[in-house]
Structure 1
């Protein structure tokens, strides 16, 4: 009998993997430089795959071992559909192996970047040319640009979605419109942190953790999602183990600024919209913008106290709507906190868009009140300041005191 695992190890031993290159053909293999040895530091390698015209590239990672980071900021592999300005299909690091990645045409690009501190043996992947019309039920995703439409998992609704698939729906609306997404049915392998099978939705045309709206799994349909601009990317990944029914979702374009109208008496379904800010905020914004008191004096009077990084900040009317990636929670109150993996985030409204003035990408201490929907609400007199590590000790002391 032939030991296939031994043959595979011998194949890898004889194969020499270099930093990047142009690869053509019906199928082939790609590995990080020196695989399965430790990849070198401070490198940037690019592989360009081309399969015959009329085919698409199907890529499957067999091994992944890169420096781990929640946002893949240090060592990572990017996969793009096409060679130039193609849609990014994913960024990967750590030991997570995604399902099969499929290009929209006959070209695909891989780029691996490593920083000064390396860790791991890199990656090994195989690719093959596939017929886009004969991939069967596992083919999914695409660019959606009609005013409304539907997207669903492979096999829906006859049977469970397959294992090891990767689907990307890129929805593009006219520049003066936004996109609304609603899930009619939803059943994706459940996990507390959605580490295995999951749906991620991003503002913009590509995967970017700073623009992730949410990450979803389980059997409860997510709440309706509204884009900030005219691009939205929906990603569905299934690993190689358990599967489930899947989902069907619908999207439609909406005007960028929704007019405020009176709901007719005959309406039985309450529309899901952003709660408007009361008129008193106009007068509020005319006050002098000055933080009052200290950390200590504001701690007990605040509904919530957190430290966090501003990852999105959008102006709507005279207010700013921010998503904050939480560093620490010192006082939670009724603040709504979402968790995806190890990352926790919350929504905060700055009632007066420039008071206090916050900027995306920076860290702050937030103290304020909570509205009826669980969002943090920050008025000009609430306590907000730039967060530095030296503040942490003082906040820990306050947390251990009783108000």
Structure 2
């Protein structure tokens, strides 16, 4: 939903070079006066913008800020996107522990540095580069596509996506929405390989090619590696896949009654989510869903529809089932009843403007 959100101009003492837009394919930036002590009462915002379709890979090679347990004094924040929106916040950092490498979910990333009026340290030095292929992904959910998707992927490509699930370390689920990769005996030419861990030394979960979508894959822990390789000729459309971090963002319920809520509820949910809750009861039962609380981003002022963040309910176990309802804003939906023994709820959130989310209870009846 472009055009939403507000920009925050950087505050800076006169004469201090601070923040700005970084649009080269790669570059470096650092706190004011680095490697000297940074000034007091400074706020700098760097907006990193690379080519559309790429992501930003950000790393820190020096990091030393005033320490506080909650990083309330001096801090550095990394945002997934242009707006300083709580749902986009990847992390707040201080002290001497450098932030991990970050890969953005799209082609824009923002970095904010803030110092208070006491205690200055040497600050930080960071490097970024455009990453058209692969990267380190963190979070509750996300989307991965082959280079240039849906156009034909390049020859001689090798991409590695290392996914680390968020929160409590539950397993990751990977679902392919589209798949067309050059086929061949044993997938020896172009292929996608999945590994149950952070590196290719981990147990292999599968190796796929051709035009049949790979099966839904679940890792045993919070790490999953996706490797894509293409040879010197014959390409294809490539692939699009979604990953979900189990627990908060994807759950399957089989008990006769239960309840669940959006990730981080009642705090703001993250942006760039696609979460699924599937209720699967014994044959003969129907599912009734009650909405206890709901606050999502509101309707579009242009279309009047739930075009930004929304929650949808589908009859059956998949999104191609009949739509039972689609909600956003501060609506109080009436209870919804399935026609079968299965019901699917899907939460989509876009790149900005997060809210409290929802709390839901369900019960099975005959």
Does TM-score exceed 0.5, indicating one fold? no
Larger radius of gyration: 1
Structure with the higher fraction of residues in helix conformation: 1
Normalising to structure 1: TM-score of the pair? Answer: 0.40
Normalising to structure 2: TM-score of the pair? Answer: 0.44
